[in-house]
Structure 1
Amino acid sequence: MEQRHLTCIGCPMGCQVTVEMEKGEVVSVSGNTCKRGDIYARKEVTDPTRIVTSTIAVKDGDKERVSCKTASDIPKDKIFSVMHDINHAVCKAPINIGDILIENVADTGVSVIATRNISIAG
C-alpha cells in the first residue's frame, strides 16, 4: 500500500496528513482535524490544482504592472503554461478589479482577472 504524507493547507492548522492509496485509489486519510483536511488530501493526491497569482505588464497606466490571479484553480501541471501566457500578456489601462485580462489561459477554460485598479497615466 502506498502512503503519501502532506501538510494540509485547508485551514490554518497545517495538519500533517497521511493518505493511504491502493491501485491509485484513496483507501484512507488520517491526521486531519477537520473535514477540510480529508477533502484537501483526497484531491491533492488524485487531481491537484492551484490558484496562480502574478502580475501583468500595463500599457498607458499609472503603474507598470497589475496584480492578477486565475479566477479559479487550474490543474497543477498547467502552472508553467499559465505563467508563460501571463508573462507574455500586456494590458491597456484603465483596469478595474475583476476585469478579465486573459480569457481561457493556457486552454484551461479559466480566466486571469485583475486584483487591483490601474488608472490611465497622466
Structure 2
Amino acid sequence: MKEFTCIVCPKGCRIVVDDTGIRGAGCERGVEYVTKEMRTPVRMATSTVRLTGSSLPRLPVKTSAPIEKRMLMRAVKLLNDVTVTAPVKCGDVVLKDILGTGIDFVATKSACRL
C-alpha cells in the first residue's frame, strides 16, 4: 500500500494505492497524478549558481519544467561548474538542455551590474 497527497488542486485528497486499486481521489485529475507519480515521478529543481559583476554572490535558478526525480541530483550537480555574469534577467536561460531532456535551468531573479 502507498499513500499520496494529491497536489493538483487545493483539496489535497489523500489517495491510497493498493492491490485493489486507487481510492480517495476526489476527481480524475487525482487519479492521473498518482498514476504518473508511480510510473515516473517528476519534480522542479531549484538551486543557485555563481554570479559575477553584481552585488549578489549567487543567482537563484530553477528548471523550466519538471524533471524526472531520478535525474534531479545529476542535474543540480551540473550547476557547480556554471558562473553567470551580470546583467541577467529573470527567465534567462542559464544552462540549456539539461542531460538531454530539453529542459533548461532559468534565472528566477534579475541581477544588475555593479
Aligned residue pairs, count: 114
d(CA) in 2 for partners of 1:16, 1:87: 38
**Moved runs in structure 1, 4+ residues, more than 4 A?**
none
Q: Which runs of 5+ in 1 are unaligned?
A: 22-26
For residues 33-83 of structure 1, the C-alpha deviation after alignment (integer angstroms, 9 at most, x for no partner) is 133211210100011111111111111123111111100111110011011
For residues 77-106 of structure 1, the C-alpha deviation after alignment (integer angstroms, 9 at most, x for no partner) is 001101101233111111001100001123
Residue pairs, 1:29-108, within 5 angstroms:
29-108=22-101
Q: Please give the TM-score of this superposition, normalised by the length of structure 1.
A: 0.83
Q: Which runs of 5+ in 2 are unaligned?
A: none
* Matched residue, 2:14: 16
Aligned residue identity for 2:25? N
Q: Please give the TM-score of this superposition, normalised by the length of structure 2.
A: 0.89
d(CA) in 1 for partners of 2:4, 2:112: 42
Aligned residue identity for 1:12? P
* Matched residue, 1:110: 103
Task: Report percent identity of matched pairs.
Answer: 30
